[in-house]
Amino acid sequence: MSRIGKNPIEIPDKVEIKVSDTNWVTVKGPNGELGQQIDPCIQVEQEGSQLVLSRTNESGPVRSKHGLYRALIQNMVTGVTEGFTTIQEFVGVGYKVEAKGNLIEMSLGYSHNIVMQIPDEVKAESVVERGKPPVLILRSNDKQLLGQVAAKIRSLRKPEPYKGKGIRFRGEVLRKKVGKAGE
């Protein structure tokens, strides 16, 4: 049995969950509403203040989906109650970031500034402190969307292994390489 899939999902008081006949799960809470299509091989049942997922058979792909969909629904419940936050640091000389509504303007050492539009569900905030690298804070109730946006921003200038310049997540540990040895 899946270790993750067999755990029930606790439903907080403020959260309302609906499961349709087509296995579409809708989670409503104080921070918004999220939906997810569930594979027909997984049954979702509400028992009191808990949500229990069970599978139809014991084949490998079905067993792997059991834990996957349980984690996706748990992330939706957490998202509509607390929300998710990602913090990225822009490390490098002259690297800048500025959030203007749904637009993020970044100066990453290229000959031009990069302007990126983010979805309405993701809120961006830039923080600049003297003596520290600029920071971009992304918030959303959808963990999947937040991760995609953060990965897209990071892909614009990944941290390089020699000086460590680039866009990194807060708390990310980089393995630095040793440069050329002098004679």
Q: Which domains does the chain have, with CATH numbers?
A: 9-81 (3.90.930.12), 84-169 (3.90.930.12)
What is the rounded (10 degree) CA torsion for 37, 68, 173, 152? -20
| Lookup result for tokens 């997922």 | 53
Question: Is residue 182 predicted with pLDDT exceeding 70?
Answer: no
Question: Which pLDDT value is given to residue 183?
Answer: 61
pLDDT-derived band at 59 (thresholds 50, 70, 90) equals confident
Closest CA to 137 of 156, 157, 123, 154: 123
pTM for this model (two decimals): 0.88
Contact 19, 37 (CB under 8 A): no
Question: Is residue 58 predicted with pLDDT exceeding 90?
Answer: no
Question: Is residue 23 predicted with pLDDT exceeding 60?
Answer: yes
| Lookup result for tokens 């000959």 | 111
d(CA 2, CA 97): 43
Closest CA to 87 of 165, 158, 172, 161: 172
Token pair, residue 62, equals 């079905």
Token pair, residue 89, equals 């640091």
Three-state secondary-structure class, residue 28: strand
pLDDT-derived band at 2 (thresholds 50, 70, 90) equals low
Contact 43, 83 (CB under 8 A): no
Q: Express each pLDDT in 109-144 by its tens digit.
A: 999 999 999 999 999 999 999 999 999 999 999 999
Backbone phi and psi for residue 3, each to the nearest 5 degrees, phi listed first: -70, -35
Q: How many Cβ atoms are within 10 Å of 182's Cβ, its own excluded?
A: 4
